[in-house]
Amino acid sequence: MYTVPPYLTTLAHNLGRSLGGHPITQWPNIHVRNIKNNPDPGGLALMESIIEKRFPDWQKIIPQEFLSQMAQSSGGDLRDFFRLIRECVISLRTARFARPDALLDKPIVDRVIRQLCNELLPIAYEDAEWLARIHKTKQAALHSDRDLPALARFLDSNLIMNYLNGEPWYDIHPLLIEEIKEIMRGNDTGDGNST
């Protein structure tokens, strides 16, 4: 079994045949949002079931609305999803040192999501332009093979994510949507070289 990054198929067409004849299977992010960027209840339920199988009493710690918020913020990326949950649980536990009856609340969840967002930043203006194009077209929007290293960097850094329902499509990390808009707006008003 070979695992290859998703951009390799662009670099080496018919790679499956070279590696033994079997087609390459895509392993996309979980479909927590549709192509119009609206939440997908099916994908969100799947994310919930992943937690349910590990810890059936999860609702005693994480209210359902927060789990759903974290699933959406992760864009269906399981590592980000678990990072958000882990950080929330740890923040709750440390809050309970001072207040033993503390519950997971919105400020904690928002801080943890903000922290994940900060880990994706900063974005150079040139990258922001391309990411905005991907967000709009839902395509990798490669002008030529020369752009492939940059696309690989986006995928490696989780700035863009790939999904599959029928046709594969790309979108930027959901936590970047507002940031990218902000950068593009900043440039429109002439003060946004980079952030």
Catalog residues that contact other proteins under the rule CB under 8 A: 79, 83, 86-87, 90-91, 93-94, 96-97, 100, 119-120, 122, 153, 156-158
Taking Cα atoms as reference points, which of 118, 27, 14, 113 lies closest to residue 73? Answer: 113
When the beta carbons of 17 and 86 are compared against other proteins, the nearer one is 86
Cα gap 137→192, rounded to integer Å: 23
Question: With contact defined as beta carbons under 8 Å apart, do 141 and 10 qualify?
Answer: no
Residue 102 CB, nearest approach to other proteins (Å): 12
Least Å from the CB of residue 2 to other proteins? 14
Q: Which is nearer to other proteins, 22 or 86 (CB)?
A: 86
Between 101 and 167, name the residue whose CB sits nearer to other proteins. Answer: 101
Q: How far is the CB of 85 from other proteins (least distance, A)?
A: 12
Angle between helices 125-137 and 177-188 (to 10 degrees): 120
What's the rounded Cα separation, in Å, for the pair 16 and 2?
Answer: 10
169 SS3 class: strand
3-state helix vs strand vs coil in the chain, percent to 5: 55, 10, 35
* Spatial CA neighbour of 123 closest among 147, 159, 151: 159
Residue 47: CB minimum distance to other proteins, A: 19
Nearer to other proteins, 40 or 77 (CB): 77
Q: Which is nearer to other proteins, 13 or 79 (CB)?
A: 79
**Measured from the CB of residue 195, what is the shortest distance to other proteins in angstroms?**
11
Distance (Å, whole) CA 47 – CA 76: 8
